[in-house]
Structures are given as structure tokens and as C-alpha cells.
């Protein structure tokens, strides 16, 4: 029959005040593990059980290694987490390309890499908001202007404000164009009617009738250069030679009315069906990077 070996032992508290002899082995009855003594350390050195660890694992400068290229798995039970040097690690994997990020309170989580765009100082950009964002300064040089896309050097030009040039009732070539889309265009032109004296060549060809008459007794009267022989009554009708050329002439004038076609003024062509120039627009500001 096998022999029974019994070792003396005691509770964890009792071991705390007991210093065993060198190479002496006792049993901690609370932890149910062996305690090896060195003859000088009170409480001795507890051995780790394979099924439960009740003491801190102190490798004392050594490493935790695996054999045969095996993995070292650390898996907490239930909702427990792996905490390494005070940092709580996530219990599930993140997405491809993510990294571990701390919240500053000891908790790590997976996050997506955000690469900031480095914009050189002084760069101008458009923003659809009233105030410039943080790190930018709103510019006020340009106001109420349109944007023009160019392929060469940038610049500015023009003299009429955007809201004036493309607002309702835009002025074109000295006149005013108005009207709703699809209706006739109403065109009014102001001016003066000038005086004009017709020349002979501009008067229509015509002649004048005249009558020569005189009264007297007896004798004959002969027409011509003052010859007048008294005597008897006489009368006669005659006519002058024609004059005038029927040439044309012009007058300044005022016009008002409507039209159903297009208006072309210089380089601007306005169609009757697209006469509403009061366009929709979105305001932007220009801001420079600080």
C-alpha cells in the first residue's frame, strides 16, 4: 500500500508570521497550495496552482514564453477585460486600417486614422457661411461680384455690381428690359424729336396756280412785263414751273411698345422667352488660411 505523506500547514494569515527552514515545504490551507520556505522570508513563497491563481504573477525580470511557437492567449472571463499597465484593451477587433486610441482615462478603443490636410498659410478658399471657420480670416476686398473661371492668370474686372447687373430690370444699352418668362419684352427708349428744315431737294415736286386779272373799258390787255392797255375786261389763269425733288429726311423720335423676338445689344442677346434676369444665387465668402 502506498505511503501517505502529510506536510504541516496553516492559514494564509498564519503563514504570514511564519518563517520556515530552508527547503521546508508547508501547505497554505486557505489557498490550497504549497509554500516553499528559504529560512529567512516570513510567509515563504506560494506556488501557483494550475487551475487557479490567487497571487500576483511576478516573473521577476523573466519572460512569459510559449513552447513550439504556440500563442500566448489572455482571455478574461465574461465581461472582464485585459488590463495591461492600467490600460483597458477592447475585447473585440476593429476594422481594417484602424488603430488603438486612448480616451485619456485608461480605456483603449479602435479608431479610424484621420490624416489632417495641411493648407499653406494665406491660401484663399470659398465658404458657404457668414463667418470664417476657425483658423481662417474673412476677406472683405471683394463684395457683390460674380465668379469667373479662367485658364490663365487670375485677376478682377468689371464695374457693375452683381446684384445690379443680374437683378430684375437690368440695364442694357441705355434701355430697360422687363417682362416675365414666356411673355413679350417691353422695350422703352427715351429721346427727343429734333427740328428739321426741309431743303428744296427734300420737298415733293409740285407747282402753284395763280390768276391774273384787271378791269377797264375798251381796248386790249396784253400780259407781260408790265404792259397793260386799258380797255375792256379780261381775266386769265396760269401756273408756275414745278420745283422740289421728293428726297428723304429723318427725325429723332420716341418709341414705346412690345416685341416678341430677341433683343441684341452689343454682345448681349436676350431672348423673349428667357427675359427674367433676376437669377437665383448662393452667397460665399472668401477666407484666407491663417
Position 253 confidence tier, pLDDT thresholds 50, 70, 90: low
Q: What is the mean pLDDT of residues 259-264?
A: 52
φ, ψ for residue 126, nearest 5 deg: -95, 140
**Residue pLDDT, tens place only, 84-139:** 899 999 989 999 989 999 999 999 999 998 888 888 999 988 898 999 999 999 98
Considering the domain architecture, whether residues 133 and 217 belong to the same structural domain is answered as: no
- Residue 85 forms part of a structural domain: no
Considering the domain architecture, whether residues 177 and 282 belong to the same structural domain is answered as: yes
What is residue 36's predicted lDDT score, i.e. its pLDDT? Answer: 95
Q: What is the mean pLDDT of residues 253-272?
A: 52
Q: What is the mean pLDDT of residues 157-164?
A: 80
Considering the domain architecture, whether residues 40 and 157 belong to the same structural domain is answered as: no
- Residue 289 forms part of a structural domain: yes
Query: What integer best gives the mean pLDDT of the chain?
Result: 76
Q: What is the mean pLDDT of residues 207-225?
A: 56
Considering the domain architecture, whether residues 262 and 282 belong to the same structural domain is answered as: yes
φ, ψ for residue 199, nearest 5 deg: -85, 170
Which residue did the predictor score with more confidence, 47 or 260? 47
- How many distinct structural domains can be found in the chain? 3
What is residue 176's predicted lDDT score, i.e. its pLDDT? Answer: 47
Q: Which of 79-83, 159-163, 170-174, 198-202 has the lowest mean pLDDT?
A: 170-174
What is residue 214's predicted lDDT score, i.e. its pLDDT? Answer: 55
- Residue 277 forms part of a structural domain: yes
- Residue 162 forms part of a structural domain: yes
Residue 202: partners with Cβ closer than 8 Å, 6 or more residues away = 245, 246, 247, 248, 249
Considering the domain architecture, whether residues 174 and 290 belong to the same structural domain is answered as: yes
Which residue did the predictor score with more confidence, 171 or 29? 29
Q: What is the mean pLDDT of residues 221-242?
A: 53
Q: Which of 28-37, 59-68, 121-130 has the lowest mean pLDDT?
A: 59-68
Position 277 confidence tier, pLDDT thresholds 50, 70, 90: low
- Residue 76 forms part of a structural domain: no
- Residue 108 forms part of a structural domain: no
Strand partners, 101: 109
What is residue 179's predicted lDDT score, i.e. its pLDDT? Answer: 45
Strand partners, 177: 187
Considering the domain architecture, whether residues 182 and 270 belong to the same structural domain is answered as: yes
Residue 180 has pLDDT above 70, yes or no: no
- Residue 65 forms part of a structural domain: no
Considering the domain architecture, whether residues 137 and 188 belong to the same structural domain is answered as: yes
Residue 220: partners with Cβ closer than 8 Å, 6 or more residues away = 229, 231, 232, 234
CA dihedral 18→19→21→22, nearest 10 degrees, is 130
What is residue 39's predicted lDDT score, i.e. its pLDDT? Answer: 93
- Residue 173 forms part of a structural domain: yes
What is residue 18's predicted lDDT score, i.e. its pLDDT? Answer: 93
Highest mean pLDDT: which of 40-44, 76-80, 250-254? 40-44
Residue 278 has pLDDT above 80, yes or no: no
The residue segments making up the domain with residue 206 are 200-239
Considering the domain architecture, whether residues 136 and 166 belong to the same structural domain is answered as: yes
Cell of 58: 511576478
Q: What is the mean pLDDT of residues 224-248?
A: 60
Highest mean pLDDT: which of 1-10, 104-113, 179-188, 207-216? 104-113
What is residue 279's predicted lDDT score, i.e. its pLDDT? Answer: 64
* CATH (domain of 21): 2.10.10.30
Strand partners, 87: 84
- Write the CA distances from 203 to 26, 208, 242, 246, integer angstroms: 148, 14, 11, 5
Amino acid at each position: 500500500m502506498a505511503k501517505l505523506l502529510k506536510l504541516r500547514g496553516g492559514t494564509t494569515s498564519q503563514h504570514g508570521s511564519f518563517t520556515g527552514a530552508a527547503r521546508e515545504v508547508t501547505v497554505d490551507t486557505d489557498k490550497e497550495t504549497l509554500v516553499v520556505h528559504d529560512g529567512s522570508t516570513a510567509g515563504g513563497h506560494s506556488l501557483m496552482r494550475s487551475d487557479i491563481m490567487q497571487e500576483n504573477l511576478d516573473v521577476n525580470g523573466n519572460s512569459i514564453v510559449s513552447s513550439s511557437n504556440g500563442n500566448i492567449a489572455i482571455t478574461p472571463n465574461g465581461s472582464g477585460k485585459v488590463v495591461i499597465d492600467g490600460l483597458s484593451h477592447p475585447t473585440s477587433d476593429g476594422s481594417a486600417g484602424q488603430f488603438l486610441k486612448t480616451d485619456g482615462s485608461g480605456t483603449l478603443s479602435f479608431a479610424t486614422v484621420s490624416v489632417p490636410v495641411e493648407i499653406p498659410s494665406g491660401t484663399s478658399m470659398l465658404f458657404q457661411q457668414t463667418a470664417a471657420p476657425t483658423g481662417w480670416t474673412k476677406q472683405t476686398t471683394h463684395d457683390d461680384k460674380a465668379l469667373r473661371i479662367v485658364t490663365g492668370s487670375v485677376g478682377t474686372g468689371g464695374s457693375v455690381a452683381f446684384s445690379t447687373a443680374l437683378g430684375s430690370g437690368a440695364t442694357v444699352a441705355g434701355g430697360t428690359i422687363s417682362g416675365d418668362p414666356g411673355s413679350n419684352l417691353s422695350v422703352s427708349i427715351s429721346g427727343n424729336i429734333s427740328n428739321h428744315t426741309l431743303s428744296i431737294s427734300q420737298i415733293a415736286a409740285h407747282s402753284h396756280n395763280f390768276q391774273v386779272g384787271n378791269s377797264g373799258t375798251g381796248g386790249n390787255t396784253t400780259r407781260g412785263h408790265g404792259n397793260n392797255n386799258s380797255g375792256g375786261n379780261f381775266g386769265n389763269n396760269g401756273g408756275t414751273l414745278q420745283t422740289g425733288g421728293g428726297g428723304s429726311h429723318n427725325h429723332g423720335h420716341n418709341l414705346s411698345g412690345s416685341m416678341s423676338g430677341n433683343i441684341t445689344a452689343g454682345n448681349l442677346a436676350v431672348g423673349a422667352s428667357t427675359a427674367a434676369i433676376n437669377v437665383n444665387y448662393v452667397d460665399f465668402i472668401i477666407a484666407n488660411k491663417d
